[in-house]
Amino acid sequence: MALLKILHFPDSKLRIVAKPVTLVDDNIRKIVADMFETMYDAPGIGLAATQVNIHQQIIVIDISEDKNQPLCLINPQISDKDGLQITEEGCLSVPSIFDKVERAENITVQALNEKAETISFNADGLLAVCIQHEMDHLNGKLFVDYLSSLKRQRIAKKLSKQREKSL
């Protein structure tokens, strides 16, 4: 397994729309394993392949306290959603920035897992938020896109200054 480099806003590669995975093979399983390692190391609760410059529809999530409930979603689709919830979100691609975003409260998801098995389930609360957030990444969208353009500009400036300091 290997740690992957996480892209940071406003990197234009974060805007690339991911393509569906056509075959879940050992290469895809290695990507999934590397993504889990990267997410846990960051540390985060979700990671989309787009964030590590892999433009395929792959998401890894683990919202458990003990980091022992890994969930892999390949080619995820939301077939139903209802309710609204507003929660504070953060993102590994937008480090140290948090803001409130409105999302569906309940969702029904279909996807493949890393064994190429079709899975379908209902999600609510934090899991529903996390899945919607990561699926946005697969469509080239970031949580900051839900904020005003002024806030986005301030965030980009702040992150740019942080990068300059770390060089």
Instruction: Report pLDDT for 111.
Output: 98
Summarize pLDDT for 36-61 with one digit per residue, the tens. 999 999 999 999 999 999 999 999 99
Instruction: Return d(Cα 14, Cα 18) in angstroms, integer.
Output: 10
Instruction: Return d(Cα 1, Cα 33) in angstroms, integer.
Output: 6
Instruction: Return d(Cα 15, Cα 64) in angstroms, integer.
Output: 29
Instruction: Report pLDDT for 54.
Output: 98
CB contact at 8 A, 127 and 115: no
Catalytic residues: 134
Instruction: Return d(Cα 81, Cα 36) in angstroms, integer.
Output: 27
Q: How confident is the model at residue 1 (pLDDT cuts 50, 70, 90)?
A: confident
pLDDT for 161 beyond 90: no
Q: How confident is the model at residue 162 (pLDDT cuts 50, 70, 90)?
A: confident
| Model pTM score | 0.95
**Domains of the chain (ranges plus CATH)?**
12-166 (3.90.45.10)
